[in-house]
Amino acid sequence: MMYVFNDFQLDVDRLELRRSGELISLEPQVFNLLKLLVERRDRAVSKGDIIDEVWQGRTVSDAAIASRIRLVRQALGDDGTAQHSIRTVHGYGFLFVAEVSVLSPTIAPQVPDRIEDLPLTLMPEITTGLSGTSKPSIVVLPFQLLGAATDTHVIADAIPHDLIQSLSRLRWLLVIARGTAFRFRAPDQDVLDIGKTLGVRYCLVGTIEMSKRTIKTSIELSDTQDGGIVWSDQTESVLERVHDLRAEIVGRVISALEIHIPMHEAKDVRLGASNNLDAWSNYHLGLQHMYRFNHTDNAKATALFERAVSQDPGFARAFAGLSFTHFQDAFVKYKDAPQKSAQAACHYAERSLEIDALDPFANFTMGRYFWLEGDLDASADWLDRTIKLSPNYAQCIYSRAFTEMLRGNTAEAHKNANNALLLSPLDPFQYGMLGVRSLSFIADGDFDSASIWGGKAAHSPGAHYLISMIAVIAHSLNGNDKKVLPLLKDIRQRKPDACQDQFFESFPFWDPKTRELISGALQRHGF
């Protein structure tokens, strides 16, 4: 659905606001507020309605509402005095007053509650303009409520609704709109039939079981081509935390799908690998190699991303992938000219942003590039922008922990690292999340905790030699020299020329006392 007013176009399916065709960046809450006002333009919208729809009923201040209204007005070129588009209804709320036209490019077919009653020809296969290939696509069905209904039973619809909204912000994923998805409510729906009917590759289903005191959720992501389960998760909490749990579930699901869908796509591509892979397939194979975090696979990932952008010069995410692999070359010193790799990381991040300035991966890679330059303030700004675009981006939240750790703000570093681990407990970056915690404890002077977390980091999949150096520092400061010896052997095998200058190039701590402490520990062990 698209709403047109003045010279603006509000596309609620694509979550975009444009002015004369030019995209206007809006925070999710600001976009949702504008959408609410436009959709209910026939009447004034109360502050209570705004809280229910935009903040899902959470307690917020009048100042928070006023702030979001101000941002909506700014985006529309309006203000509190002129009120050309949004009029304040004093003591009540707000009314959208601009004249609105509604455009509906396609008329969606009426889908019955049971898919077996729907002819398979009614819905075309979902495709994208990306080199004519199919993007990953997903439908999120209403969750099934088990047990006796309570006054919180609406959560069975609220969670998938939130998931649809959040998944729609992932620009690499096609998401079936709620209006269609929620027509499939029957508990015995066949995911294979759903895949054929809607033309989607993945189906997310869930159950919610409530008792007097607890709420249990079970979630499954299925491949609609063979019915196999790609990923599943279970949670349990006290009923009083139902609204907190709602946000936690959404966050964990989004983070998990960011990893599991691309990896599943790459697996399928590899099983049917040929010399004629399209851009999307090359990109997914590149991701698979990229997340192995070693010199050989990083080079393979670079080659696959290069192949993808040669096939599709407008493929923003493939350029972001190139930025990432060149960052790795510079950060871990895979190549002899790290500054050249750093400049390549910047170039490809800029190219990705030129194509799609709102892609979280593109913004993320620019934030990581500024690590290499030691400009932690600029890095933090780009990473904060990324989190605004994708609030549950676990790898970016970890990266913010990294920048705060280097700046000496260990409390924020611990908080962000914890959040990243909660969102994505099996993340390919897990070694980094654990390593940041270890370094933060070193800066705090808590060497016992630093040793525990450093050891976990060094034994995590994908951990590079710099992570082993963190463990060496932590164990050394804690007096655990026996644990240092095998780590030293591992480091010298993987990086014979490893030294503390390399370490501080990758970890440019601002605090001189922390640098001195780390330097002493490294020096004691020959670095």
User: Is residue 355 in some structural domain?
Assistant: no
Report the run of H or E that residue 470 belongs to, with start and end.
helix 465-477
Question: What's residue 216's pLDDT?
Answer: 85
Question: What's residue 5's pLDDT?
Answer: 84
- CATH number, domain of 52, equals 1.10.10.10
Q: Are residues 397 and 524 in the same domain?
A: yes
Q: Are residues 143 and 96 in the same domain?
A: no
What backbone torsions phi and psi does residue 235 show, to the nearest 5 degrees?
A: -135, 155
Q: In angstroms, what CA-CA distances link 207 with 155, 217, 425?
A: 11, 6, 22
Q: Are residues 434 and 461 in the same domain?
A: yes
pLDDT in tens, 244-257: 777 788 888 888 88
| Sole residue written with tokens 């294979």 | 192
Q: Are residues 21 and 149 in the same domain?
A: no
User: Is residue 311 in some structural domain?
Assistant: no
Q: Which two tokens stand for residue 269?
A: 């591509």
- State the residue range of the domain holding 159: 115-251
Q: Are residues 235 and 138 in the same domain?
A: yes
Q: Are residues 70 and 149 in the same domain?
A: no
Q: Are residues 85 and 208 in the same domain?
A: no
Q: Closest Cα partner for 371 from 503, 470, 505?
A: 505
Is the pLDDT at 480 greater than 80? The verdict is yes
- CATH number, domain of 514, equals 1.25.40.10
Q: Are 25 and 357 in contact (CB under 8 A)?
A: yes
User: Is residue 59 in some structural domain?
Assistant: yes
The CA distance from 300 to 111, in Å, is 45
Is the pLDDT at 124 greater than 80? The verdict is no
The CA distance from 383 to 399, in Å, is 7
Question: What's residue 159's pLDDT?
Answer: 83
- CATH number, domain of 147, equals 3.40.50.10610
Quickly state the pLDDT bin for 151 (edges 50, 70, 90). Answer: low
User: Is residue 338 in some structural domain?
Assistant: no
Question: What's residue 103's pLDDT?
Answer: 66
What backbone torsions phi and psi does residue 493 show, to the nearest 5 degrees?
A: -70, -40
User: Is residue 68 in some structural domain?
Assistant: yes
Q: Are residues 195 and 82 in the same domain?
A: no
Q: Are residues 126 and 93 in the same domain?
A: no
Domain final residue pick, 225, 251, 277 = 251
Rounded to 5°, angle at Cα 75 from 80 and 47: 55
- The reply to whether the predicted model has a pTM over 0.75 is no
Number of domains in the chain: 3
Quickly state the pLDDT bin for 270 (edges 50, 70, 90). Answer: low
Domain final residue pick, 234, 251, 268 = 251
User: Is residue 95 in some structural domain?
Assistant: yes
User: Is residue 156 in some structural domain?
Assistant: yes
User: Is residue 484 in some structural domain?
Assistant: yes
How much is the mean pLDDT over the chain? 83
Q: Are residues 142 and 242 in the same domain?
A: yes
Domain final residue pick, 251, 266, 281 = 251
Q: Are residues 447 and 404 in the same domain?
A: yes
> Tell me, what amino acid is at 185?
R
Q: Are residues 39 and 146 in the same domain?
A: no
Percent of the chain with pLDDT over 70: 89
